[in-house]
Structure 1
Amino acid sequence: MSRKGDADNSSIYSLADDKLKPDYKNFVVCPYDKHHVVLACRLATHLVKCSANHPGNRMVRCPFNSTHVLQASFLSTHVLTCPNLKDLMHFTNKETFRSPDQMAGRVEYIYCQENWNDEPETKVYDPQEHCSKNILLRSLVGGTPSQRKEFRETERKKFKELMECNEL
């Protein structure tokens, strides 16, 4: 016996289940331990840790891609068929490799008449001097209680003098 709306609910649940399922295309199996399934973007980090846990294995890394880890007996075959070999060949072949000048294009230099060395000398900013001449709330950090008390008294006197100068 079916109730009204059962078909609608089943489609909602199937959509929710699809969103919760992990995308297995992004996962790879660790070459050191077949029970380790890792995200492809985290494989390099995992291989460093996992290789430390399996020091007895005779595994070597591909010279073209550090995430290619295989047994030493298969290295020579892998080097010939490695998909990352074409990247190295691209950069070593002078006919296909473009120089940095060719990649960037021609850069025209713009002549500028401004010279910062000809500017007049300016006074260097001194924060202590600025604070002493303006009404700013400051606190002494790291002093003894007597030093903090003395600092607060001098700040009060400074405020009083600055307030009197501003009133005139």
Structure 2
Amino acid sequence: MASTKLAGYEETVICPYNKCHVILKHRFQTHLIKCARSYPEIVLETCPFDVTHRYRKEDLQAHVEECPSRENFDRYVYSVSNGNGPKVPPVEPTPRPKPPPPKNDDDEDWDHYNTPTYDPQKYAMNAKVLRTPGLMTPSERRKFADAERKRLSQIDRRQQ
């Protein structure tokens, strides 16, 4: 997984599944997933320190010993195990007030409102909205466009 920087481009990485694939580094994880599906016959193991590092089983141990991402892991493990890690004072949980009891609003019943249902076609017929024709033949579209012009001009006259 050699990382290179081409002139005029961002940093690129070569795909372990197909050496012809040169991918931008920030798109590499997504590409690896797609390429792994496309090449099921190529079995590569994933590095425990960086998921974008894929190697054959026999090469993985050598890579793990010299993986550049291992430094972050080692730094964390040794700082925690030596007691040299960041000194963070223990945080005690703050008591939260109890929520108020729920109100019992039994008088509200949404099923018995006497309001008509919303009809978008009916609304669009009376509003200054451009409607699009559905699946129509060219002659039907022309008729629809003429009817729309008339409808919109009538709405304009009513608003003046």
User: What TM-score do you get using the length of structure 1 for normalisation?
Assistant: 0.49
Q: Deviations over 1:32-87 (max 9, x none)?
A: 21210112222122112222333443532212211101233322221111122233
CA contact (8 A) 1:60 1:72 kept: yes
Match of 1:62 among 38, 47, 60: 47
Alpha-carbon separation, structure 2, partners of 1:124 and 1:61? 61
- Aligned twin of 2:140: none
In structure 2, the CA distance between the partners of 1:98 and 1:127, relative to structure 1 (3 Å rule), is farther
Over the aligned positions, Cα root-mean-square deviation in angstroms equals: 3.4
Within 1, Cα distance between the matches of 2:107 and 2:25? 54
**Is 1:116 the counterpart of 2:100 in the alignment?**
yes
* C-alpha distance in structure 2 between counterparts of 1:33 and 1:79, whole Å: 22
Alpha-carbon spacing, 1:60–1:108, altered in 2? closer, same or farther (3 Å): closer
Name the amino acid aligned to 2:25.
Answer: A
Determine if the alignment matches structure 1 residue 74 to structure 2 residue 53: no
Q: Which residue of 2 aligns with 1:150?
A: none
Consecutive unaligned residues in structure 2, runs of 5 or more: 1-6, 120-160
109, 119, 125: which is aligned to 2:108?
Answer: 125
Which letter does structure 1 place at the counterpart of 2:104?
A: E
The structure-2 alpha-carbon separation of the partners of 1:127 and 1:31, relative to structure 1 and needing over 3 Å to count, comes to: same
Q: Which residue of 2 aligns with 1:24?
A: 10
2:71 corresponds to 1:86: yes
Q: Which residue of 1 aligns with 2:117?
A: 138
Normalising to structure 2: TM-score of the pair?
0.51
1:45 to 4, 27, 30: 30
| Whole-Å separation in 2 of the counterparts to 1:108 and 1:55 | 49
Aligned to 1:6: none
* Alignment partners' CA distance in 1, 2:24 and 2:110: 52
Query: Quick one: percent identity of the two aligned structures?
Result: 24
Supply the distance in 1 between the matched residues of 2:94 and 2:51 (Cα, whole angstroms). Answer: 41
Distance 1:126 1:31 in 2: 62
User: Does the 8 Å CA contact 1:30/1:38 hold for their aligned counterparts?
Assistant: yes
Question: SS at 1:66's partner residue?
Answer: coil
How many residue pairs get aligned? The number is 110
- For residue 116 of structure 1, what is the amino acid of its counterpart? P
* TM-aligned CA distance change 1:75 to 1:110, over 3 Å: closer
Q: Which runs of 5+ in 1 are unaligned?
A: 1-20, 141-168
